[in-house]
Chains A and B, each alone.
Chain A
């Protein structure tokens, strides 16, 4: 009796520890068979280009890029729609798109664009100046709720869009917008077929019709979006693929598994810690997305000890960024000293970062009257982001950094939506967050994230400096690129001194794919054009 009990308890204890360990395993089964079938039909078709299955973390919220702000949507629409101006292959320099050349008046108030001739929408209608005007009038007529990006980038600054002739469009502004052409290249401003918009009405967001290399075929919510080759595409020889399928696999490691088993061909959102495993597999390869992001710890300047600039500087001195990069980014990141990455024009490389120096940090705390440190909350994001794969871990490392200078940080987290709302309301002492640039312009980082006008939208730290504001607004309206860069450089010096953030890193997000994929060029904005992708 006694002995048997002992054994039972031993067994029970073992089972319990196993059960604990098993609690978190994620299931990714149940989709293999389906995919096998798919592959089967592919080979039967014996088509030249083949099918690319792109695995990603989230579903599109809309197939009409104009009404969304969300990156997963742009990933798909980028391949259906084209913009008047395009970004470079792997940068944000402006290139001809649906417009072949452009001219800007001296005062920066008139932009004239020559359009490409002979381009047809997927429904067979012609692309011309009328279509462009139609799209802009549609966006203009809607409110910020409906067309967020149109309102934030152009708002009421565009007074008129006019078709001069069939292939010439003229934009008249009532105030210069320095990054006007760059804005035109943003995915939300893809030109859609007026006929289709009129035909589908409210259902247009599920029936996209553009001029891009791929034509929309099918949408299954939270599962897949299928695009097929645009046979009439204006660029000779493109696209190379016959079909592209965007699949949703939320969990990072499950998505990697799907790639390893051949269920998908290309994935984004790879854990940095998995890079070694992928590179050790001869069937797979990794791709690095050029960095256009910043991860930071916001120091809300309206809360407790953080009101004091010296305290914020002290916290800056306390963080060992290189150690973070080595431990959590597998080296695939640069330490950040400014609120924007170095590829953005106007980046101030002369700014000197607060070096990692706990002693100096303690001194600054002492000067500020917090010799014995203080307590604060440190918010960690609950979801992996391209700029920060594991917020919880980074938070724990920062916690130890702060502990070394006597600041006790309590790690707090909320569900993602709540997290953003609460941080936006200024409820966090310090919080982890980041930003991926939309158009590669400094305005899209500095003004959006740190101007006093942005308090209540994306300036979560409630940082307010009238001098910075003046510089940023001036730069926004200036047409002279050299002058703009000078203004942004000045702003970065002031921001560094005020230390509303601890800029942490600029990461190079990792994608992975089958070894035989060629021609895939990840774009810094996160929306990848798949026209040139092919299987060897």
Chain B
């Protein structure tokens, strides 16, 4: 059963392969050839390692204020300079990776779980269930996402956790719609008809067949969504609706630094660069994944 399911990832028109290579292996081969995607992956891995080993890498804690050493330019002692509290910006950027990646991953996993559930239910059952869920998605998508996030944080109160929840919520419809359309097309496949015919239960069909066959686009969309989530987290932090002081969230660091833009540009450059690089990394990686996992892109 397992084998046949995976094989079905490939479009039915394709003739059966001579060598039985897992489509994942095949995808990896194609991904490996994509230089940009590899660069993206390396950037992402770099930041992940930074986040995991932050206490080992960062020379100082996140809130070691030395007010007499405020706004110092980058030097051997402080690689990225110091901020207006005399805190080491390098250490704060390193610790900031933890916050941004944490929010990025968790928020996206949250929206995938909820989005998938709703999307699968909407696509598989159709009729009024579909109508209700789809209309809710439409309404949510009608808002500019950051505006919706601000509204949610305003209701829940500003904090990092609530920013995370808001980001997860605003991304739900993206995944929900994606899954729904996948389910709609997979539902028509013969093997699903067969499963139905032999009397398999709805939930078993959904979770053993329909969902696994919809994983590839979810992974691609998920990777790209992490990039957006990191930017949204930074935007909320910048607006004072995300991480609370003294957490070194990159967006908040930018906002704290804006008063010193001319006097001490390094307070803004390094957190900004960190945001840009992680987002770029996830985008390049997601792009590569899309190419690798999309059967139509195969040569």
- In the bound complex, residues from chain A placing their C-beta under 8 Å from that of B231 are 13, 16, 20
On whether A14 and B276 interact (CB within 8 A), knowing A20-B251, A410-B244, the answer reads: yes
Least CB separation from B268: chain A residue: A21
B287 touches A5 (CB 8 A): yes
How many B residues touch the partner, as a band? 35 or more
**Chain A residues within 8 Å of chain B by Cβ, number:** 31
Chain B residues with CB below 8 A from A24, complex form? 238, 255, 258
What's the nearest-Cβ distance from chain A to residue B157, in Å?
10
Select which of A5, A14, A323 is within 8 A of B68 by beta carbon. A323
Mostly helix, strand, loop or mixed at chain B's interface? Answer: helix
Q: In whole angstroms, what is the CA distance A3 to B40 when docked?
A: 12
A:304-358 near B, CB below 8 Å:
320, 323-324, 326-327
Query: Beyond A2-B291, A6-B287, A9-B280, is A20–B235 a contact (Cβ under 8 Å)?
Result: yes
Would you give the shortest CB distance from B261 to chain A, in whole angstroms?
8
Q: A-B pairs with CB below 8 Å: how many?
A: 85
Shortest CB distance A303–B (Å): 20
Q: Does B50 contact A (CB under 8 A)?
A: no
Contacts of A21 in B (CB 8 A): 254, 258, 261, 268, 272
Interface pairs (27), CB distance under 8 Å: A2-B34, A6-B287, A9-B280, A12-B283, A13-B231, A13-B275, A13-B276, A13-B279, A17-B276, A20-B231, A20-B235, A20-B254, A20-B272, A21-B272, A24-B255, A24-B258, A326-B68, A327-B67, A327-B70, A395-B245, A397-B67, A397-B85, A400-B85, A400-B246, A403-B63, A410-B244, A411-B244
Mark interface residues in A7-30 (1 if CB within 8 Å of B CB, else 0): 001101110110011011000000
The answer to whether A17 and B67 have CB atoms under 8 Å apart is no
User: Would you give the shortest CB distance from A383 to chain B, in whole angstroms?
Assistant: 14
Tell me the nearest residue of chain A to B297, going by C-beta.
A1
- Residues on B with C-beta less than 8 A from A400 are 63-65, 85, 246
Secondary structure dominating the interface of A: helix
Question: Does chain B have a CB within 8 A of A286?
Answer: no
Contact partner, B239, options A13, A23, A392, Cβ 8 Å: A23
Q: Which B positions have Cβ atoms within 8 angstroms of A?
A: 34, 36-37, 63-65, 67-68, 70, 84-86, 227, 231, 234-235, 238-239, 244-246, 251, 254-255, 258-259, 261, 263, 268, 272, 275-276, 279-280, 283-284, 287-288, 291
- CB-CB under 8 A from A23, the residues of chain B are 238-239
Judge if A157 is at the interface, Cβ distance under 8 Å: no
B254 and A10 contact, CB distance less than 8 A: no
Whether B287 lies near A9 (C-beta < 8 A) is: yes
> Min CB distance, A485 to chain B, in Å?
36
Q: Could you tell me if A393 and B67 are in contact, using CB atoms closer than 8 angstroms? A: no
Given A10-B280, A20-B235: A397 and B245 within 8 A (CB)? no
Give A117-159 interface residues, CB cut-off 8 Å to B. none
Q: Which of A16, A20, A323, A327 contacts B84 (CB 8 A)?
A: A327
B residues less than 8 Å from A5 (CB atoms): 287
Q: How far is the CA of A20 from the CA of B263 in the complex (A)?
A: 19
The answer to whether B284 touches A9, judged by C-beta atoms less than 8 angstroms apart, is: yes
